[in-house]
Amino acid sequence: MEDISPKHKEVFNVISAAGAAVEQPVYVVGGYVRDFYLNRTKDADELDIDFVTVGSGITLAKEIADRLDADNLSVFKQFGTAHIKHENMDLEFVGARKESYNRDSRKPVVEDGTLEEDQLRRDFTINALSWSLNEDNFGELIDPFEGIQDLKKQLIRTPVDPGQTFDDDPLRMMRAIRFATELQFDIAPETYKGIEEMAERITIISKERIIEELNKIVMSPKPSIGFSHLFKTGILHHFFPELVKLHGVREVRGVRHKDNFWHTLKVLDNVAEMGGDLWLRWAAIMHDIAKPATQKFKEGTGWTFHGHDALGASWVESIFRRLGLPLDERMRYVRKLVRLHLRPIALVSDEVTDSAVRRLIYEAGNDIDDLMMLCRADITSKNDYKVKRYNQNFDHVEEKIKKVEKKDRIRNWTNPVSGDEIMDALDIDPGPVIGDIKDAIKEAILDGKIPNEHDAAFDYMMEIKDEYVN
């Protein structure tokens, strides 16, 4: 504890004095202590620090808020917890507890407990570490389950029998996998076996809790680690069967195809390496999701997956709804990228017209750069020559896109002629014909018949008006 930042130590001294004032022992617990030994606390922009006190967490927090002159104390009487936001620290206080569970419920029976009982209910040994903030042993590490040794071994292990830990709260199985993914630790064999044996118990966990852990796996530096564990333990089968169905290789007359499950995970890792955000990573997860449903073997050609892009795009909303992901513009972004992910490679040929390039820019809009990132991430060949050639092809496509966009300004295109202008010029009332005329102008611009300019579009409208207005 000697190397903690002066700012944090100052706060810990205040909390120590507050604990003595209300006669309640207090301890720093959990993630902050773990991350300190992993050298992850010094440069953090925001820190969540958890404290356990033997007594009322709310009483202690009120005393601390007064001493820190904090006016943002939040009290949650129902849970016996309190939060204080202080500078870049989110401080949470709770009384030491012991818990017991009914097997069919995730709501524990909670009673006041000792520090030892509180540590026994922790999920993993590395999260059961604590520091005393009490005068007689300030700064002493309390490590009842050899969590420091597990940090050194880079091991995720439950403090008690895995069956008990995961039966109490099955989400801990996903948390084990999430920590193993984020920290790139191993999972202890007995803990891993416990996950395999109890994988079906994940079905009693709400989709909101599951997706929170899953998104943390998705946002980790190498998400494939977590998805591999979820698959091998059987957990993934219970909430994301479409992804599981990608696994496997079929063979007809000696002709095989790649395993689309492991290919998808490689694409996901590639997007993560490129710095893609959560929703671009979800586009990577979903880009080939409909391949099993479109898989066919064609003599002389081999395996085909025609239409998997369009079918996969049509599945995005229902999968997002089931998983508890948002159904707003983020879902529509993922759906768009899944639908378009094959389009750029079709533009490689020099014979491709500017019209085809304009249409891709129009459909992708501001997401064209993300689409190209996904396309490059989709290159998973182990053949260096092929990888180089594919990337050169995409370089060629991007040059075409830049050239056409500079000339025609199609990205985030809006019609040069407004609906009001059409009604005024043609002396017609609102109705479907307005949209028909605007579509005709749009198609003319995308086809290159007229430039993307107001006067040209207006003149074109006047030329074709008799086709739409009697």
Q: What is the pLDDT of residues 205-256, one digit of tens each?
A: 999 999 999 999 999 999 999 999 999 999 999 999 999 999 988 877 777 7
Cβ(59)–Cβ(99) under 8 Å? no
| 3-state DSSP assignment of residue 122 | coil
Which of 60-64, 101-105, 315-319, 379-383 bottoms out in mean pLDDT, i.e. has the lowest? 101-105
In angstroms, rounded to a whole number, what is the distance separating the alpha carbons of residues 465 and 470?
Answer: 9
The class of domain 6-153 in CATH terms is: alpha beta
Per residue in 79-126, pLDDT (tens digit) is 889 999 988 889 999 998 765 545 555 555 555 678 888 888 889 999
Q: Tell me which residue of 276, 355, 343, 347 sits closest to 313, measured CA to CA.
A: 343
What would the two tokens of residue 320 be?
């997002």
* Global confidence as pTM: 0.89
What separation in angstroms does the CA of 297 have from each of 249, 263, 301?
Answer: 13, 19, 8
- The architecture (CATH level 2) of 156-239 comes to Orthogonal Bundle (1.10)
| CA dihedral sign of residues 363, 366, 368, 370 | negative
- What is the domain partition of the chain in residue ranges? 6-153, 156-239, 419-467
**What would you report as the CA-atom Rg of the chain, rounded to the nearest whole angstrom?**
29
Q: Which helix (DSSP H) or strand (DSSP E) does residue 79 occupy?
A: none
